[in-house]
Each structure stands twice: as structure tokens, then as C-alpha cells.
Amino acid sequence: MACGLVSGDCRCLSRAITLTESTRAADRQAATALLRCVAEARGRTPMTPSFRLGVTGAPGAGKSAFIEMLGLFLARDTPDTAWPLPSRRVAVLTVDPSSPVTGGSILGDMTRMVRLTQQSNAYIRQTPSRGILGGIARRTDEAIWLCEAAGYGVVLVETVGVGQSEAAVASVVDAVLLLYAPGGGDALQGSKKGILEYADVVVVNKADGHRLADARRAATELRDSLSMRLNANGSRSGDAPTPWSVPVLLTSSLELPPANATDDATDGVNASMRSFYTAEPARHRSVLEAPEPAALQRVHEVGARLERPMSAAEIWAVLMNFRRHAGVHLQERRFQQRLRWWWTEVADEVVHRLRTDARLVPLCTQLQDELQHGRLTARAAATHLLDTVWPGALVPDTRREVPSSAAR
């Protein structure tokens, strides 16, 4: 399976992701062995300098439609000398919420990406959240790594879309794109969105027809909210020392009519917007190939003054400018992400072994009984259990409350 995955076989990739997501004891061991084999096979071939993009936003913001629009552009077979990545293969990992009652998931995002599923360069994988908070699934980081091992140059991660604190996606991607829909609240609501602090690019979707004015108003309010979250250097706290002005862009994932359609059939989308969406990306190459100061100036102009909806090509140009601007800091960010997930794996494995150790069953039963009758608090019971497992290992408690994705 490892050799087939590294060679780009989609079926091997799907089987590998299924294996890593399994919670069966036998599959856990098999998944660990598989990941080791893939790492060894991947080490013998050049690593693809991929780009990981997280797309998040509230339910109804149009994440699936936006990802299909962007994915169709990325999966084009048309040669492009300005393409900064060696592969135009795009993988889409979507996370669907699981029912807290039945545990099931609809997994219906693929029905919104019918055209993208027909592209030979595209791979779409749907995963249930299984009660994991933060917007991503438990094994999303490993699924991204496996997609990269299979030769996918771009990995798009669509989050659940649960609300204001969906920031865990920042711990697995290179850049976070926050998708916003007009009518999502006033400027105060924008300031309260915790994910706004992690966003590298903000895109106001559904900027078409009669909603264009609302989209422009929302973009202005979001820029005001972002301006209050910048430090003296113009960058966010904890970010790279070089400033990055987070752009707020407009777009529409609306499926536009053919170029020869009459204006009566556009349903509020005028002819200039239609020609804008169908334009070839050749005219955007100057943005991709521009020197760093000119590229950043272009981003600032887009974020501050350009009030027309942008195409997938232009949004991708902005993302590539961010990638180039971040430079070596992206590698450091990925290292910090691996450290975070390493300790997460350690914590999960410790809990798994404590729960399955037959020698601890009598003690756990006793502690559960005392918890039931209110004679112990949860912290006291946990301390008793761990002191029994590791006697004398008194370690000062240096923990502090931090966001789950602070290691980004």
C-alpha cells in the first residue's frame, strides 16, 4: 500500500487514510507501521513543496462552493510558467459534523463539488468530526501528510463551520482563509470571532447581485476589526516578525452563465463581472512574478481599494504572495505544528493505555465509585491515579491556559 500511495494511486491513498482514522487496536498498530513505511518510501523520492490551505467560516458562508471554484482553477491541465508548485494535483479534505446523539455524519460536501470530482487531478475525501472540537478531525494532520506523500501539490482543508472559535485548523495548514458571508453581524461580531486572529486572508463571499453592497459593507467592517488586532509593527501577535497586512477580498462562488448569455439571464450579475470570471489567468502572471515590494503593494491595494469580486486566479495570486512573503517561516510553523501534534499523540496514547491496563481496573472502579458519591473531585481522582502509575514523580504544574492552536 505504501508504494502505491507514493506513486500517486488514489485508492491506496483512500485506504491509508481510512486505516489511520480507525480506532480499532489492530488498525492502530497497522497505521503506525504504514506511516513508517510511507516515510521511508517518501524519503527516497524528492519531497513535493506543497501548500496547505485551511478554508473556514460559519455554516452557510459557501465554503464548499468556494473550494470547488478554487479547486477547478488549481486542477487545470493548462501549462503555466508562473505556477510556483511542481504539481497541479489538488486534494480536498472536508470535515463534516457528527451527530452528538447518533454519532453519524451526512458527509454531503461532495455533492456540492460535482464538477471538481470529475477532474482527474483532484481528490476529495470526507471525514466525520466524531465529536472533536475546533473544526477539524482527529487525524486531519496525518491525512494531509499522506496526500502530500501521494504527490498532491495543494491540500485544501474545509472545516466543519461550527462558529467563532474554530481555530484548530491553524495547527495543520500553512495559511488560513476565512470565508465570510454578508449579513453575518456588525463590526462587533467580527471582532468577537476568534478565528479572525488566525486568518491570513479574509474573503467575503456571495458578492453578487443585490448582495454586492452588503458584501462591500461587510468587508469594510472586517478591515476595521483587523486593524484593531495589529501590533505596532503591523503584524499579529506571535506571527513572523515581518508584517503581513491581512487582505479582505470580495468574491462570488456563483456559477455564472455562458459568455454569450443575455443580460436578462444573469440574475443580477452584469456582463463585466461575467467576463472577469472567464478571463484567462495569463494577465495575473505579472502579480505572481512581481518583485516582493511590488507584490505586497498589490496585495495592499487589493485589500484596501479593490471593491469588485475577484476570480480564483487572483485569490490564488494573493495566497502565493503570502507564501512567498512567509518564506522560511512556513517551515518553522510546520515544525511547531508537528511538535503540538506529537504531544497530542502522547496524551492520547497515555489515556488509551490507562483505560486498557487490566492492572488498574480495581483502582479505577474504586475512584469511579468515590466520584459517583461525591467524595472526590475529578482533579483529585486523576492525581491519585497518576501517582499510582508514577509514584514519586512529583512535577510542578506549569500549565497555562492557551488556545489549542497556539503552537502554530
Q: Which pLDDT score, from 0 to 100, does residue 267 have?
A: 37
pLDDT of residue 81: 54
Neighbours of 71 (CB within 10 A): 24
Looking at residue 46, its pLDDT comes to 54
Average pLDDT of adjacent 10-residue blocks, the chain of 408 residues: 84 90 82 86 66 88 90 77 72 76 59 84 82 65 89 89 65 89 62 70 89 88 75 43 78 59 37 40 43 49 61 88 85 87 86 89 92 90 89 59 44
CB 406 within 8 A of CB 238: yes
Instruction: Based on the fold, state whether residues 30 and 52 are members of the same structural domain.
Output: no
By CB atoms closer than 10 A (0-12, 13-18, 19+), residue 139 is buried
Structural domain boundaries, residue 29: 1-43
Residue 56 within a domain:
yes
Cα 335 from Cα 333, distance rounded (Å) = 5
Distance CA 351, CA 240 (A): 35
3-state secondary structure of 69: helix
The cell 472526590 sits on which residue? Answer: 376
Q: Nearest CA to 67 among 44, 93, 86, 42? A: 93
C-alpha cell at 22: 480507525
Residue 140 CA to residue 137 CA, distance in Å, equals 5
User: Are residues 29 and 100 both part of a single domain?
Assistant: no
Distance CA 10, CA 28 (A): 21
**pTM for this model (two decimals):** 0.75
Provide the grid cell at 329: 517561516
Provide the pLDDT for residue 236: 46
| Domain contains 403 | no
- Asked if residues 320 and 77 have their Cβ atoms less than 8 Å apart, the reply is no
CATH number at residue 292: 3.40.50.300
**Residue 24 shares a structural domain with residue 51:** no
Check residue 82 and give its pLDDT: 58
22 and 125 inside one domain: no
Residue 289 belongs to some domain of the structure: yes
- Which residue, of 273, 298, 326, is where some domain finishes? 326
- SS3 state at 170: helix
In a domain, 396, yes or no: no
DSSP 247-269: -EEE-----PPPTT--GGGSTT-
| 276-279 LR contacts (CB < 8 Å, sep 24+) | 276/308, 276/309, 276/311, 277/311, 279/311, 279/313
Q: How many CA atoms lie within 13 A of 270 on its CB side?
A: 6
**Cα distance between residue 213 and residue 216, in whole Å:** 5
* Count of structural domains, the chain: 3
Judge whether 115 lies within some domain. yes
Tell me if 300 is assigned to some domain. Answer: yes
279 lies in the same domain as 354? no
Residues in the chain: 408
Q: Cell numbers 508584517 label which residue?
A: 243
Same-domain check for residues 266 and 138? yes
308 and 267 within one domain: yes
10: CATH? 1.20.5
Q: Is residue 167 part of a domain?
A: yes
Q: For residues 233 and 354, state if they share a domain.
A: no
Query: Do residue 76 and residue 180 come from a single domain?
Result: yes
Identify the CA nearest to 15 among candidates 29, 116, 30. 30
**Dist. CA 200–CA 164, nearest whole Å:** 16
Do 93 and 32 lie in one domain? The reply is: no
Tell me if residue 91 falls in helix, strand or coil.
strand
Under DSSP, the state recorded for 29 is H
**292: CB partners within 8 A, 6+ apart:** 324, 325
Residue 302 shares a structural domain with residue 177: yes
The pLDDT of residue 12 is 92
CB 109 within 8 A of CB 64: yes
Please count the other Cβ atoms lying within 10 Å of the Cβ belonging to residue 73.
17
DSSP class of 395: -
Instruction: Say which CATH number the domain at 354 has.
Output: 1.10.287.130
Evaluate whether residue 401 is within a structural domain. Answer: no
- Considering the domain architecture, whether residues 4 and 90 belong to the same structural domain is answered as no
